[in-house]
Amino acid sequence: MLQDNPLLVQLKKQLNSKLTRVEGVVKGSEKGFGFLEISAQKSYFIPRSFMKKVMNGDRISAVIQTHKDREIACPEKLIEPCLQRFVGRIQKKNNRLFIIPDHPWLKNAIPCNPRYDLNHCFQDGDWTVAKIQSHPLNGDEVFYAELTEFITTTEDHLAPWWVTLARYDLEREAPDVPIPTKMINEKIKRKDLTEIPFITIDNAHTEDMDDALYIEDIGQGRLKLFIAISDPTSYIETGSKLDQIASTRSFTNYLPGFNISMLPRKLSEDICSLRPRKNRPALVCCVTIDEDGTPSKSIEFFTAWIKSRARLVYNSVSDWLETNRTSSWQPENKEIANQIDLLHRCYLARSRWRKTYALLFKEQPDFRFVINKKGEILDIITEHRRIAHRIIEESMILANICAAQELSNKFGFGIYNVHYGFDKINADQVSEILSHHGIIEDPLTIVSLDGFRNLKRKLDSQPNTFLANRIRRFQSFAEIRTTPGPHCGLGLEAYATWTSPIRKYGDMVNHRLIKSIITGETGSHPKEELATNISDRRRKNRMAGRDISEWLYSLFLKREIGSNRLFTAEILDVSRSGMRIRLQENGAIAFIPSVLIYAVREDLICKHDSGSILVKGEVLYRVTDLLNVVITEVRMDTRTIIARPAFLSNKSTFR
């Protein structure tokens, strides 16, 4: 009866209205208490007793109370849990199952049980997928998880791959579906180019060869380039089961050690692969290039049959070109040698054109893990991009520029890679940073394609990459769009890829649209949901590759603890707690805590905004600096590599 009393209800409302409520993210400590972070500058203390109701990383609302002159946060409502679906390892205690989340912030042992249809007898250390079913802020007494999928055992050497793929809900294998062996009736006429000496240039181990090139010297310094791309859409019906699978996967997932094909391997590595001396259907772009590298406006796309004359390897072709044709490998005939020479000439002209009218990449080496069948890391090999890689890359970029122009002119839609450079929100900050270094740029100018290109050229002319590195974090991310937009990273007005259709579903979509242009049909505008899915899959694949690499790097460098081996490292970023570095020898990312940078902590300041570390007001290190480091610790639970400078700075040695 009392609870229905109107006076009591009114009083309760008045009391609640006077309470201070805040929203933030829970950050726990090793000592059991925590903080509710409202912003970078504001946080509230959470006592141990209240931390039992939340997890590190939960976004919650809380009521602020004052206790002994200290404001504390009392968790009230769960807004977004840190954990929903997650992976972890089983811990058995007294025949009860608990799961330890594989998460850098969480060490909670959460009570759990298998789902009713999961028939696996879980053992200590097993890897599994789970879902949180109970949370104290949702009115439940304790945290509780349901095991939904067994991943692998603790002894499995391939655990880094299987656990990571399960974390991002990605496939383990190529599609297992019936393989189309007959071409569909597209009612399209193919030119017979089987007598033209196309060549492919790939890595020695590549099986899914999707591009072949042929080039002619047509006089007056001009070249005519034929870019032939494998044509899986001639076998895969739009909307078929295989097409739906490819749409969902979006990409072949390239991971350290192996790849997981978007299409059945029989299709991608045999039926559609541009193998030498095999007739293959292809979609071809023919473009004329002037002596200065400018492509003609009259671009021709058509379907054809081609037959590659030679399967060449990047390193062999590079050796031949870089040694002035004196390497041990030699082209098998003059015809192939002439093709290589003309393609090299085309690359030189196109790279000059891009340097003048667009932008060139800053080349970074690739790091390849050498892994045996047991999943053990034998070595990490540095692979620099050589001249043959650049020849193929430049040809594919040109082909994608042509496709973007054709799709934009004829339809105004397709699958485009779009990169807007700096958005207006960050432009003022970028302009301010530049001004401190003597570069004056109008914020309204650098958000345009021309402004971005001009700024990038100025930064490339700087004596080091420090300034370019500082403003890179203000750049927007590349996106997948169904309508044209600039690609500032390449310095181009539009960019639409179609050159890897057996590896990218977006390229298959663009193939079908280009075929519609060839046949004079009306193309179908791709759905926005498709662009969203492609973007999401690209992000997941990249994160999976990064996570597996971190795991493998940790296993590989664990053996270096105590060896005092010196590694040269570049400083990538500075935070309040230290600096993040990349080992030049193998590409591993490591962290140097501030306590290992300088012996007298009070004299040390780590400034993220300027990317520098100061001692007594003088710069000791800054982003892009190189230094020698030693590996001191590897934390396998978080796959974190800890290093220290080879010589710890202290009061007596610092100048």
pLDDT score, position 510: 98
CA–CA separation, 244 vs 250, rounded Å?
10
CATH number of the domain that 36 lies in?
2.40.50.140
Tokens describing residue 652 = 């007596």
pLDDT at 315 over 70: yes
Q: For the segment 167-212, what is each residue's pLDDT rounded down to a tens digit?
A: 999 999 999 999 998 999 888 999 999 999 999 999 999 999 999 9
pLDDT score, position 349: 97
Question: What pLDDT band is residue 6 in, cutting at 50, 70 and 90?
Answer: low
Question: What pLDDT band is residue 3 in, cutting at 50, 70 and 90?
Answer: low
Q: Please, what is the average pLDDT of the chain?
A: 92
Cα distances from 481 to residues 67, 246, 322, 533, in angstroms, run 53, 18, 39, 11
Q: Pick from 314, 334, 368: which is nearest to 206 by CA? A: 314
pLDDT at 647 over 90: no
Q: Which residues pair with 97 in a beta bridge?
A: 92
Confirm whether 368 is a catalytic residue.
no
Tokens describing residue 62 = 């809380």
The reply to whether 523 falls in a domain is: yes
Q: For the segment 535-556, what is each residue's pLDDT rounded down to a tens digit?
A: 999 999 999 999 999 999 999 9
Number of neighbours of residue 569 by Cβ within 10 angstroms: 25
Tally of CA atoms within 13 A in the half-sphere of 6 that contains its CB: 0
Q: For the segment 103-119, what is each residue's pLDDT rounded down to a tens digit?
A: 988 888 999 999 999 99
* Domain end marker among 504, 526, 548: 548
For the ranges 144-148, 328-332, 386-390, 643-647, the lowest mean pLDDT is seen at 643-647
pLDDT score, position 650: 43
Cα distances from 177 to residues 243, 263, 561, in angstroms, run 11, 9, 47
On whether both 377 and 518 belong to a single domain, the answer is yes
pLDDT score, position 12: 52
On whether both 612 and 529 belong to a single domain, the answer is no
The alpha helices in 275-386, defined as continuous H runs, are 314-322, 334-357
Structural contact between residues 404 and 396, judged by C-beta atoms closer than 8 angstroms: no
What is the share, in percent, of the chain residues with pLDDT greater than 70? 96
Structural contact between residues 314 and 388, judged by C-beta atoms closer than 8 angstroms: yes
pLDDT score, position 119: 92
Structural contact between residues 383 and 469, judged by C-beta atoms closer than 8 angstroms: no
CA–CA separation, 198 vs 213, rounded Å?
5
- Which of the residues 58, 102, 126, 211 is marked catalytic? 211
- The 8 Å CB, 24+ separation contacts for 217-222 are 217/342, 218/288, 220/291, 221/290, 221/291, 222/288, 222/289, 222/290, 222/291
For the ranges 9-13, 59-63, 296-300, 571-575, the lowest mean pLDDT is seen at 9-13
Per DSSP, the residues of 475-526 read BPPPEEESS---BTTTTBS-----S-TTTBHHHHHHHHHHHHHHHTPPPPPP
pLDDT at 653 over 50: no
On whether both 492 and 459 belong to a single domain, the answer is no
On whether both 402 and 337 belong to a single domain, the answer is yes
pLDDT score, position 8: 53
- Which of the residues 102, 202, 319, 507 is marked catalytic? 202
The reply to whether 312 falls in a domain is: yes
- Which of the residues 58, 102, 208, 547 is marked catalytic? 208
pLDDT score, position 608: 87
On whether both 138 and 198 belong to a single domain, the answer is no
Distance of CA 414 to the CA centre of its chain: 22
pLDDT score, position 655: 33
CA–CA separation, 140 vs 54, rounded Å?
12
Q: Which residues pair with 300 in a beta bridge?
A: 286
267 vs 39, more confident: 267
Confirm whether 144 is a catalytic residue.
no
On whether both 270 and 341 belong to a single domain, the answer is yes
On whether both 400 and 432 belong to a single domain, the answer is no
CA–CA separation, 388 vs 367, rounded Å?
18
On whether both 428 and 414 belong to a single domain, the answer is no
pLDDT at 609 over 50: yes
Q: Which residue segment(s) compose the domain that 231 sits in?
A: 191-418+486-548
Give helix 528-557 / helix 159-167 axis angle, nearest 10°: 150
On whether both 221 and 242 belong to a single domain, the answer is yes
The reply to whether 328 falls in a domain is: yes
Token pair 């839609």 is found at 413
Residue count (the chain): 655
Output the CA angle 356-461-365, nearest 5 degrees.
85
- Which of the residues 44, 214, 314, 420 is marked catalytic? 314
CA–CA separation, 410 vs 588, rounded Å?
46
* H/E element, 606: strand 604-607
Output the CA angle 632-635-638, nearest 5 degrees.
145
User: What's the total number of domains in the chain?
Assistant: 5
Structural contact between residues 398 and 287, judged by C-beta atoms closer than 8 angstroms: yes
- Rg value, the chain, Cα: 29
Confirm whether 314 is a catalytic residue.
yes
pLDDT at 230 over 50: yes
CA–CA separation, 295 vs 405, rounded Å?
12
Structural contact between residues 99 and 126, judged by C-beta atoms closer than 8 angstroms: no
On whether both 509 and 368 belong to a single domain, the answer is yes
Structural contact between residues 44 and 38, judged by C-beta atoms closer than 8 angstroms: yes
CA–CA separation, 482 vs 496, rounded Å?
10
Structural contact between residues 72 and 22, judged by C-beta atoms closer than 8 angstroms: no
- Which of the residues 280, 503, 537, 622 is marked catalytic? 503
On whether both 619 and 578 belong to a single domain, the answer is yes
Confirm whether 208 is a catalytic residue.
yes
Q: For the segment 333-369, what is each residue's pLDDT rounded down to a tens digit?
A: 999 999 999 999 999 999 999 999 999 988 889 999 9
On whether both 69 and 150 belong to a single domain, the answer is no
The reply to whether 354 falls in a domain is: yes
* Domain end marker among 39, 55, 80: 80
CA–CA separation, 450 vs 512, rounded Å?
32
The reply to whether 238 falls in a domain is: yes
CATH number of the domain that 137 lies in?
2.40.50.640
Q: Fill in the DSSP letter of residue 559.
A: G
Q: For the segment 86-106, what is each residue's pLDDT rounded down to a tens digit?
A: 999 999 998 899 999 999 888
Which range, 19-23, 361-365, 442-446, 646-650, is most confident?
Answer: 442-446
The residue type found at 357 is: Y
The reply to whether 490 falls in a domain is: yes
pLDDT at 654 over 60: no
The three state secondary structure string of 67-118 is ECCEEEEEEEEEEECCCCEEEEEEEEECCEEEEEECECCECCCEEEEECCCC
The alpha helices in 323-448, defined as continuous H runs, are 334-357, 387-410, 424-435, 443-446
* H/E element, 592: strand 589-593
The reply to whether 185 falls in a domain is: no
pLDDT at 15 over 50: no
Q: What is the mean pLDDT of residues 499-526?
A: 96
pLDDT score, position 610: 87
Q: What is the mean pLDDT of residues 412-436?
A: 94
Structural contact between residues 262 and 246, judged by C-beta atoms closer than 8 angstroms: yes
Q: What is the mean pLDDT of residues 438-446?
A: 93
pLDDT score, position 501: 98
Distance of CA 376 to the CA centre of its chain: 24
- Which of the residues 210, 231, 507, 625 is marked catalytic? 210
The reply to whether 606 falls in a domain is: yes
